[in-house]
Amino acid sequence: MSGIAPFFDDTGISDDEELYRRIRPDIVHWSLADNGVPPVPRQGFQDYPAEKAQREFNLPGACMSVDRNLVLVERGHSVETLVEGYESYGVVSIEAGAVRSLKGPKGEDYSQGVMANPRPSAPWHAVVFCRAGGKKSKGMENALARIARWVILPARPA
Amino acid sequence: MSLLLERGQEFTSSNALTRPTVAIARETRRTDATLTGSELSLVSGSGDIVSLQRSAPWLSPAFDDLLRWIDQPEGWDSYGASRISPGSVRLAYRILEAISQFDIPRPLVAGTPDGGIACEWVDRELSVQVTVERGDVDVFIWDKRRGEESEGPLASMVDEFSRALSRFAGPPIRGAE
């Protein structure tokens, strides 16, 4: 991991910033949909493994990609840009502040950090990492799913 | 059936993970599954033929789900996820095969970015997930009514996992006391 800067919670990303995450349609529980709107699936918030993050993305550990609405808009794009080439995917939104103060159902501290990580093809790219270190637990993924809301619904499989 | 599950006599971490089922060779790219009467024959790419009996009808489509995931390319989640490992698929299949002998409904099968497989049973009150990654088998149980979550290795949660899963069960397929 030498030469890779550690994660830091980026104060340049304000608490009210909207972060997006694409969701594959085949991980969605359509049987639980209310008025055609399914619950946001926990499986949509899983981290890259640490080795992959280090080797391929020069990131210090396990984390999850998100896209910043603010930068998308500044660059003249919108959330629809995120599903170009991923037409059947949905997109969910989570607020950076809610991610930072993430809690479990019994008040467990699940707090996450948010760090800008612009990429040539996606200057709006950022990552969410577990402040306690390591990979997100399933409980943390579940808590993220609970605070997320659909912005674009995925296509319902036939 | 629920008694058997609760007592951990039929479904335990040891027998679930060691029952001989189907061999999926590392180089296998395609496996054909055919259903004949109550007997499911799986012919793997390595030529192995394995007969299974007393399985739920959803085992064959669940196997197809696993094959669809193993065929997913690198980056299948649009964020750089690893390809699904054949070892994870093999182990997940063994677990599903064991569970399918009870009247538990078909789970949602999904890949994990770490190359693993997650199988989830869910309704409006309960979510039970078993995840296979790099040879580890973990369980996550979310009791939505009580707002309680628990997670950990299957080996240390067999009883809790069995009890939770039995809440999805219907009438017994076989051997119920």
Using the beta-carbon criterion (under 8 Å), do B149 and A138 form an inter-chain contact? Answer: yes
Predicted ipTM of the assembly: 0.90
* Residue A3: per-residue pLDDT: 81
Judged against a pLDDT cut of 90, whether residue A124 lies above it is answered with: yes
**Least CA distance to B131: which residue of chain A?**
A138
Q: Are B9 and B176 in contact (CB under 8 A)?
A: no
Report the residue from A49, A137, A142 with minimal CB separation from B82.
A49
* Residue B171: per-residue pLDDT: 55
Judge whether A13 lies within some domain.
no
* Residue A103: per-residue pLDDT: 97
Question: CB-based contact (8 Å) between B125 and chain A?
Answer: no
The whole-angstrom distance between B86's CA and the closest CA on chain A is: 18
Judged against a pLDDT cut of 60, whether residue A61 lies above it is answered with: yes
Chain A residues touching residue B149 (CB < 8 angstroms): 104-105, 138-139, 142
* Residue B161: per-residue pLDDT: 94
Judge whether A26 lies within some domain.
yes
Report the residue from B113, B124, B127 with minimal CB separation from A48.
B113
Chain B residues touching residue A57 (CB < 8 angstroms): 80
* Residue B31: per-residue pLDDT: 40
Enclosing domain of residue A40: 18-152
Judge whether A2 lies within some domain.
no
Residue tagged 């040539």 (tokens): A120
Chain B residues touching residue A138 (CB < 8 angstroms): 129, 131, 138, 140, 149, 151
Torsion of CA B167, B6, B120, B101, to 10 degrees: -100
The whole-angstrom distance between B32's CA and the closest CA on chain A is: 22
Q: Taking the domains of chain B in order of start, what are their residue ranges?
A: 2-166
Q: What residues does B36 pair with on adjacent strands?
A: B39
d(CA B138, CA B151): 7
The whole-angstrom distance between B8's CA and the closest CA on chain A is: 24
pTM given for the model: 0.81
| Chains A, B: CB pairs < 8 Å | 62
Judge whether A146 lies within some domain.
yes
Count up the domains in chain A and report the number.
1
Higher pLDDT, residue B3 or A125: A125
Q: pLDDT tier at A157 (50, 70, 90 boundaries)?
A: confident
Q: Tally Cβ neighbours within 10 Å of residue A18.
A: 18
Question: CB-based contact (8 Å) between B143 and chain A?
Answer: no
* Residue B53: per-residue pLDDT: 53
Q: In what order do the strands lie in the sheet with A64-68?
A: A112-116, A125-130, A64-68, A18-23, A90-95, A149-152
pLDDT in tens, chain B (177 residues): 332 333 233 344 343 333 333 333 323 333 444 333 233 334 334 434 444 456 788 999 999 999 999 999 999 999 989 999 999 999 999 999 999 888 899 999 999 999 999 999 999 999 999 999 999 999 999 999 999 999 999 999 999 999 999 999 865 444 333
